[in-house]
Chains A and B, each alone.
Chain A
Amino acid sequence: MQVTINVNGEPITRDVEPRKLLVHFIREDAELRGTHWGCDTSNCGACTLWVDGEAVKSCTVLAAQADGHDVRTVEGMETEAGLDPVQQGFIECHGLQCGFCTPGMMMTARWLLDHNPHPSEEEIREAISGQICRCTGYKNIVEAIQWAADHPATSEVNA
């Protein structure tokens, strides 16, 4: 079947099998490999991206279901103004070690901050509770998200 998915604002049309998972469409068809493919079982959250503004695990959504919908991936975080504060926060606070969980963590962090700009540490930990960092670097990830909350997008941050 033919699907057209708006990925980071760009419509991408491909022929896919109906059983194709969105994570594989993004990586293989849209050729955006920032979205990682981890556990396959909706446990690890490495494949987290947005569908119509909601953070979801893309290993548990069919590409067919996203036909005609808006998808935002980690590649869509940076704007002309520069890095998203979440990305900057992960740099400032050393929010990654191996980097495998990072794209998913950042997409969830941005989703959290859009809904709750000043989350408590507990709310941050709850938000990323569906994601696994196998380096166990949660402390720095939480701090990175806190940094982003404390530094909302301004020209200063993005300079």
Chain B
Amino acid sequence: MQTPAPTDYVRATSVANAIALLEEHGEEARILAGGHSLLPMMKLRIARPEMLIDINDLDELRGIRVEGDELVLGAMVTHREVLESPILSEHYAVFREAEKVIADPLVRNRGTVGGSMCQADPSEDLSALGAALRGTVVIQNSSGSRTVPLREFHEGPYETKVGPAEMLTEVRFPIRPGAGSAYEKVERRVGDWAVCSAGVFVTVKDGVVADCGIGLTAVGAEHFCAPDAEAFLIGKAPTEENLRAAAKLAGDASDPSSDQRGPADYKKHLAEELTFRALTRAAAASQGA
């Protein structure tokens, strides 16, 4: 039987209150969002917070909206809300494609975007998506808030720029008219963590790639992205040959470990192949194919 270690519990009444509670209880306090990463970690006793600060009552952290030229997701937006959001699908197919393969419907009912980002699992699908779209996160503390690019957000596995007495409040993505996007994932079984996933966007203008982003998860790519592959594609026609060459560079950006999900060379192959498939579909979508 798995049971969390003894802990205390309090419900925050506002973001300011949650941050004040974090300050009051120190480093052994944790924010409890959807709980679908934290509670399993607590049951395994890998995490032993002494105080849980539940932010489920904070409506200010909910909702998906367009603000200027950005898509804004509150930290408490659930995976299901992302999956079913017409606003997100209108701008990027990749949201729906990625969410469809994140965990299972019941977990998606409860798990949140902010929670997944802060858990920062090295196999997190949203990390690949966030890196591909060059999203940002808003981190708040008692003296104000700051915006951090998702490509600088991760300090390492399970470590982020969110410090003690701070919380992630929003995730933001730039809107790119004319962009196509796609997500490709290989998993051992439905609902599992990725063996490898690739998320991309491509904007084709006048027959050449004007902008693109490539995100990879579960394969040890630094900051979940493949900048050399992106740089290679800019200004080039999205031909099969060029997309293959970019995908090869994405494979080179990966640095996977062999584990129960597969040997390293297999995962490197997946990084390349899944990037190619995603780029092919995204480029076609951008060209209205």
Write the residues of chain A forming the contact surface with B, with a CB cutoff of 8 angstroms: 1, 17-19, 21, 40-43, 45, 48, 54-57, 60-62, 64-65, 108, 126-127, 129-131
**B264 in the interface, Cβ–Cβ < 8 Å?**
no
Q: Are the C-beta atoms of A64 and B9 separated by less than 8 Å?
A: yes
Residue of A nearest to B51 (CB): A18
Given contacts A18-B52, A60-B107, 8 further A-B contacts (CB under 8 A): A21-B39, A41-B2, A55-B105, A57-B110, A127-B105, A129-B104, A129-B191, A131-B106
Chain B contacts for A21, CB-based, 8 A: 3-4, 39
B binding-site residues for A, Cβ under 8 Å: 1-9, 32, 35-36, 39-40, 42-43, 52, 54, 56, 103-107, 109-110, 190-191
Known contacts A17-B6, A41-B2, A129-B190; is-contact A60 B35 (Cβ 8 Å)? yes
What is the distance, in angstroms, from B55's C-beta to the closest C-beta of chain A?
A: 11
With A19-B3, A56-B110, A129-B104 known to touch, is A62 a contact of B40 (CB < 8 Å)?
no
Please, how many angstroms separate the alpha-carbon atoms of A45 and B110 in the complex?
Answer: 13
Q: Nearest CB to that of B189 among chain A residues?
A: A129
| B42 CB contacts on chain A under 8 angstroms | 19
Q: Which of A54, A126, A127 contacts B110 (CB 8 A)?
A: A54
| Chain A residues whose CB sits within 8 angstroms of the CB of B109 once the complex forms | 54-56
A45 and B191 CA atoms in complex are apart in Å by 12
- Among B2, B4, B6, B106, find the residue whose CB has the most chain A CB atoms closer than 10 A: B106
Nearest CB on B from A50, distance (A): 10
> By the criterion CB–CB under 8 Å, are A40 and B43 in contact?
yes
Report the 5 A-B pairs with minimum CB-CB distance, sorted nearest first. A130-B104, A18-B9, A40-B2, A19-B4, A130-B106
Residues of B within 8 A of A48 (CB): 106
With A65-B56, A129-B191 already in contact, the answer to whether A41 and B9 are too (CB < 8 A) is: no
Of A41, A55, A60, A130, most B-chain CB atoms within 10 Å: A60
Q: With A127-B105, A130-B103, A130-B104 given, is the CB distance from A62 to B9 under 8 Å?
A: yes
Jot down 15 A-B pairs with beta carbons below 8 A, ordered by A.
A1-B9, A18-B7, A18-B9, A18-B52, A19-B4, A40-B2, A41-B2, A41-B40, A43-B191, A57-B106, A57-B107, A60-B107, A61-B110, A65-B35, A65-B56
